[in-house]
Amino acid sequence: MKQIYRYLNELKASYQQEHPPYQLPYGFYLTPEQRLEILKDILAPYSEEEEKLSKQKLSEENK
């Protein structure tokens, strides 16, 4: 069992060396409000498209 854990730890260490974690620049931090605004900007086109599709679906159901 110890050999399995040792092997897994070695695999993890080698993977982390090959794929270093992405790090933000030092001191870079977004407040939750800023994150929400960015998400709204990113999702805006999708929500507009979804609104159009739901209106089409409602109009088709009412016919």
Using CA atoms, how far apart are residues 49 and 37, in angstroms rounded to an integer? Answer: 19
- DSSP assignment, residue 21? P
Q: Is 7 helix (H, G, I), strand (E, B) or coil?
A: helix
**How far apart are the C-alpha atoms of 42 and 31, rounded to whole Å?**
17
What is the pLDDT, as a whole number, of residue 26? 64
CB 40 within 8 A of CB 32: no
What pLDDT score was predicted for residue 24? 61
- Domain assignments of the chain as residue spans, ordered by start: 31-63
2-52 pLDDT, tens digit each: 888 888 888 888 877 776 666 666 667 778 898 898 888 888 878 788 888
pLDDT at 62 over 70: yes
